Structure 1
Amino acid sequence: MARPSAASASEAVNGSSRTDSAEAFAEAVLAVVADIPEGCALSYGQVASILGSKSARGVGRVMAQYGHAVPWWRVVRSGGLPPTGHEDRALEHYEAEGTPIVPMSGGRYRLGREALLY
């Protein structure tokens, strides 16, 4: 997949076919994620909202397939919970970036409110 372009968000809305539209949506998601500053995060739903979509699951699908190309750990579940199945790897990134973390029971954690951009 090509590097996201500045026009990706508008292309996602105005794609000429379903395939073009899906590819444009994926590129737009990756562009938004690439712009999330270190130490901060957005939820899947917030990324969708920025793109004028209600599809948090669509954002999740894009991240599952292409997220390795961007700082994937900066996209979290609602409530600041890290991506499912990637908690340990995400924690390494959060600690390296100085992302505020709130410990929870059972060794789990969530991001502090100050890290969330919404």
Structure 2
Amino acid sequence: MQTTAAESSDWRSRILARVERVPPGFVTTYGDVSPGAPRQGGAALRGAGDRVPWWRVVRADGSLAVGDRQRALLEAEDVPFLPSGRVDLRAARIPPEVL
């Protein structure tokens, strides 16, 4: 089954709207912004640039997909990190139902 341009735009818009609702100092995961299809979350963010706070979306284990720049932006918002270098999801993850 092929996806139409309208359907493609619709899922991207829903994902970006969820990301925009993540407040400073908190994170969400790719799976939270795109339930059942975390890779679609990454695909939607890839083309969004800095229009949305992409740095607030991390992998399900708290690791960073983008690396040093993402970490610097999260640290500037006082997002807590574990000694392993991963985001402390117990402290910083916003509940998915809020999105």
Give the alignment partner of residue 72 of structure 1, picking from 39, 49, 54. 54
Q: Which of the two has greater helix per residue?
A: 1
Q: Which has the larger radius of gyration?
A: 1
Higher relative contact order (CA 8 A, sep 6+): 2
Displaced runs of 4 or more, over 4 A: none
Q: Does 1:111 align with 2:90?
A: no
Shift of 1:68: 2.8
Deviation at 1:28, TM superposition (A): 1.1
| C-alpha separation in 2, matches of 1:80 and 1:116 | 9
Secondary structure in 2 matching 1:103: coil
Structure 1: give runs of 5+ residues left out of the alignment.
Answer: 1-16
Structure 2: give runs of 5+ residues left out of the alignment. Answer: none
> Could you tell me which amino acid in structure 1 is paired with residue 94 of structure 2?
L
What is the identity, as a one-letter code, of the residue corresponding to 1:48? S
Q: What is the TM-score of this pair, normalised by structure 2?
A: 0.84
- TM-score between both structures, scaled by the size of structure 1: 0.72
The one-letter code matched in structure 1 to 2:56 is R
Which residue in 2 is equivalent to 1:93? 73
Q: Give 1:101 shift.
A: 0.8
Cα separation, 2, equivalents of 1:34 and 1:67: 13
- Larger strand fraction of residues: 1
The amino acid that maps onto 1:89 is R
Q: Establish whether residue 60 from structure 1 lines up as the match of residue 60 from structure 2.
A: no
1:36-47 mapped onto 2 (5 Å cutoff):
36-47=22-33
Q: CA deviation at 1:78?
A: 1.0
